[in-house]
Chain A
Amino acid sequence: MSGKGMNLTLKIWRQKDAQSKGKMETYNVTDISEHMSFLEMMDVLNEQLIASGDEPVAFDHDCREGICGMCSLYINGEAHGPDRGITTCQLHMRMFNDGDTIYIEPWRAAAFPVIKDLVVDRTSFERIQQAGGYISVNTSGNTQDANALPISKHAADEAMDAATCIGCGACVATCKNSSAMLFVGAKVSQYALLPQGQVEAADRVKNMVAQMDLEGFGNCTNTGACEIECPKGISLENIARMNRELMKASIK
């Protein structure tokens, strides 16, 4: 099933390492099938670069089915590219046309420094989770029976919708303030909606928000770009819920 064979111009951010200055470089790829995924197109480019003795472009990727959250890329000014509800690895070349010029950049945020080319350091997300993104329960084999604690289907479904976040960082990359509130709000919400999360709710939200600020993420000004670009459709309501939880925790 060969495609229509697009010829494309790629403008790609190249940066040797965190210390070096980066710049946009221009590359051409030819005969790109519309059935290729965007990252397969990047594979084609890299094979071409290796063959000609150049260094391939470094980019993060792993599962290539939209769930691990490893892939990123700011494509033509949009996190995860022009399609909606998908990650870059699920973006297909049929979204582009023969002769297009495509701009490919890393996530841009002070809290996500570039490691190399299109790869950024997202360990700030890790530290926010470590500040309170858990329920303190040891593994014992003596935990109460799972059905001893009924949870309304509505609450469980809503918690699941929040928990579906893949931690890719598109929300931060797309936000003009580089805010991480959609990410943090999703985790806070998952636990706030479940009875298991109540015991530590106040400390959790305070500690996670404090760590978020410490990492240098910006504030939320309700633009809503994060919700549009989020590959998993995480709702802005989660930010509102986080703010309510924080308020509740502060006046206790």
Chain B
Amino acid sequence: MSVLDSKVPKGPIKDKWTTYKDKIDLVNPANKRNIDVIVVGTGLAGGSAAATLAELGYNVKAFAYQDSPRRAHSIAAQGGINAAKNYMGDGDSTYRLFYDTVKGGDYRSREANVHRLAEVSGNIIDQCVAQGVPFARDYGGLLDNRSFGGVLVSRTFYAKGQTGQQLLLGAYSAMNRQIARGKIQMYNRHEMLDVVVVDGKARGIITRNLITGEIERHSAHAVVIGSGGYGNVYFLSTNAMGSNATAAWKIHKKGAFFANPCYTQIHPTCIPRSGDYQSKLTLMSESLRNDGRIWVPKNIEDAKAIQQGKLKPTDLAEEDRDYYLERRYPAFGNLVPRDVASRAAKERCDAGYGVNATGEAVYLDFAAAIERYGKEQAKIQGIDNPSADKVYDLGQAIVEAKYGNLFQMYEKIVDENPYKTPMMIYPATHYTMGGVWVDYNLMTTVPGLYCIGEANFSDHGANRLGASALMQGLADGYFVLPYTIGDYLSDEIRTGAIPTDTPEFEEAEKAVKSQIDFFMNNNGTKSVDHFHKRLGKVMWDKVGMARNEKGLKEAMAEIKAIREEFWKDVKVPGIANEMNPELEKAGRVADFLELGELFAKDALMREESCGGHFREESVEESGEQKGEAKRNDKDFAFVAAWEFKGEPADAVLHKEELEFKDIELKQRSYK
């Protein structure tokens, strides 16, 4: 029997959460004043949790490495947030949102958690509107919705192309109200470097003040980690430069199991890399695939000429272009899910058909959309026999109204006008579905230690649908954790304040300080980025969009070798007791160098293709789906939760079997 207890309540799926909430232990208001909770990370999950816990009466200490909670990377989410409001009357329901999320996740998520997510999704929109979040509205003054990939209804609420920003500013405003009341103590520019476990329970954290370098001890009755995903293990990703896995990895090393690290989302529409100096990649919203057609040249000679700058894409005749998504997936065309679109781009580029100097780019072309909209507008405006130029102008105006800010962003970065010449795009790491294993209460395998938002593994299975990340972050922080944590804290009302002058804090602080001392005195010859870039290259080449046994074994060995070299030869300038960005990076990369190896180990173990995890050995051999990803429900319908045993390669696998009582497992088909 597995050591993992998911604590999913009994009963029919649609009643589980309601019934459970009715029976959960509560903490009375007078006692909440005597209980401290630490929240690490202030994005949508951490920020909303900190605010809500403080509203309930707990004493909250919140930590962010940025200079303000408002800067957490949730701020960069563009598209929107899903909710089963059915405001459009198009047949949406809690069940449909639940179903779409489980199916979109390729049947690798925990049903009960996903259903709860769908249940509270409507509350999120109500709460955000009450806070003054300026969602887009129609002329009647009601909220507007749009559609996203992989679903058949319009359930996505949005605020221009800045939905993440507006939702985070809402959570931030709720935090500010509690900071002003003294219920949240906010620690900006602080980084958590370890968790402190006392008598088997999480009782505090060790932090570094990023301005003074001071190492501090903070205690609490429970610790909540909402520190985001680990996409920066690839070095290049759409994550912020500071996004890191240190909080999640440190708790893993102290006993929290790490689940499904190999589930990573590679987003198909990002601006391609331009050179070795590249520091990050920029996402172009998925919505562009509604009107853009994706193609590469049909003939290899044309591709070569384009790569050498001798031929322009606009010079290529229609019959010399390969609209490969429309060719391979006639039913969904350019709107296939993210994982499918990404792999198809890689397949063409690997075959030599890429369209920039690096050979790693495909075209996203709006010429057809401009012409279609132009003709439509001419008709609406009653213009007979419009000239080609007139059609183009009319069409461009429509495309500009829909995507103007994205086109402008593209032009600023690439210095090409995407109205005149097709955009170039290429897939990039965007989101990590894997993360710290949590039970139904969002508690990790360490009592009193919780994990929320992208940092945990729970709701997206092997692939996340668009506009669902914001939903999960806020669901966890506003509506799930504040309830479930009461069940644990109700036993803590007589505990009293947790002292920090104990051997456990002493020991954790000593370990943190000795790592810092090591970095400062190592006198190596290579910078932190040197090692991070090498790790990223191995991850991208061998643990990226397509994986195989040989590559994964090589990756594990190579990552281990880079890690050993890192510890021998890394160079960290400056001193420890002042602001030192290189020292911050060194600690984060040290953790990525361990996480990367576990990531590859997990990918090696999972000998099936599912969602964002594609094993070249596991494809359909025949029939209509020939060459497509092949899932193996018989052997792999489980969550892989890894227990740390000293070295990443020695991690021990624990399986949480996944049961699908309410949804039939099916092959995803987009043909």
Chain A interface (Cβ < 8 Å from any Cβ of B):
1-3, 16-17, 33-37, 39-40, 43-44, 47, 49-51, 53-56, 58, 60-70, 83, 85-86, 90, 92, 94, 115-116, 119, 121-123, 125-126, 129-131, 133-141, 143-147, 149-153, 156-157, 159-160, 163-164, 166-167, 190-191, 194, 196-197
Contacts and interface: CB of A to CB of B under 8 A. Distances in A.
Contact of B478 (A50, A116, A139): A139
A56 B120 contact: no
Nearest to A129: B176
Contact of A135 (B131, B279, B408): B131
A133 B176 contact: yes
A61 B585 CA distance: 13
Interface string B589-618: 000000000000000000000000000000
A49 to B, nearest CB: 8
Interface string B168-179: 010011101101
Contacts of B579: 17, 58, 115-116, 119
Question: How many interface residues does chain B have, given as a range?
Answer: 35 or more
A90 B76 CA distance: 14
Contacts of B390: none
B140 interface: yes
A33 B436 CA distance: 40
16 contacts: A33-B275, A40-B278, A56-B581, A63-B73, A64-B240, A64-B282, A69-B68, A70-B71, A122-B67, A123-B67, A134-B131, A146-B125, A147-B143, A150-B140, A152-B137, A167-B70
Nearest 5 CB-CB pairings of A with B: A150-B141, A134-B173, A160-B134, A146-B129, A159-B134
Contacts of B279: 37, 39-40, 43, 64
A110 B87 CA distance: 49
B582 interface: yes
Given A54-B573, A86-B412, A131-B180, A122 B68 contact: yes
Contact of B180 (A69, A130, A160): A130
Contacts of A36: 275, 277
B141 A152 contact: yes
A151 B135 CA distance: 10
B135 to A, nearest CB: 7
Contacts of A140: 127
A23 B274 CA distance: 34
A141 B134 CA distance: 19
Contacts of B574: 55-56
A90 B126 contact: no
B143 A196 contact: no
B377 interface: no
B55 A139 contact: yes
B522 interface: no
Contacts, number: 223
Nearest to B189: A115
Nearest to B184: A130
Interface in B531-588: 571, 573-574, 578-579, 581-582
A38 to B, nearest CB: 11
B413 A92 contact: yes
A140 B127 CA distance: 8
A67 B571 contact: no
A164 B165 contact: yes
A146 B581 CA distance: 43
Nearest to B181: A130
A2 to B, nearest CB: 7
Contacts of A122: 67-68
Contacts of B165: 67, 164, 166
A62 B166 contact: no
Most buried by B among A126, A152, A166: A126
Interface string B36-65: 000000000000100110010000000000
Given A92-B412, A139-B479, A156-B137, A194 B132 contact: yes
Nearest to B173: A134
Nearest to A33: B275
B470 to A, nearest CB: 14
A236 to B, nearest CB: 20
Contacts of B573: 49-50, 53-56
Most buried by A among B67, B128, B358, B413: B67
Given A33-B277, A64-B240, A1 B180 contact: no
A68 B173 contact: no
B126 A145 contact: yes
B277 A197 contact: no
A50 B527 contact: yes
A143 B127 contact: yes
A185 B75 CA distance: 21
B663 interface: no
Nearest to B277: A40
Interface in B331-359: 356-358
Contact of B132 (A68, A125, A147, A197): A197
Most buried by B among A3, A62, A194: A62
A153 B137 contact: yes
A194 B172 CA distance: 18
B123 interface: yes
B482 interface: yes
Given A40-B279, A126-B179, A151-B141, 4 more contacts: A62-B242, A68-B240, A134-B174, A143-B123
B367 interface: no
B162 interface: yes
A65 B282 contact: yes
A89 B182 CA distance: 35
B241 interface: yes
B87 A133 contact: no
B177 A134 contact: yes
Contacts of B199: none
A63 to B, nearest CB: 4
Nearest to B135: A156
A139 B475 CA distance: 11
Nearest to B128: A146
A167 B69 CA distance: 11
A31 to B, nearest CB: 10
A174 to B, nearest CB: 19
A115 B141 contact: no
Contacts of B358: 1
B14 interface: no
B136 interface: yes
A2 B358 CA distance: 10
A85 B425 CA distance: 23
B140 A62 contact: no
Contacts of A56: 573-574, 581-582
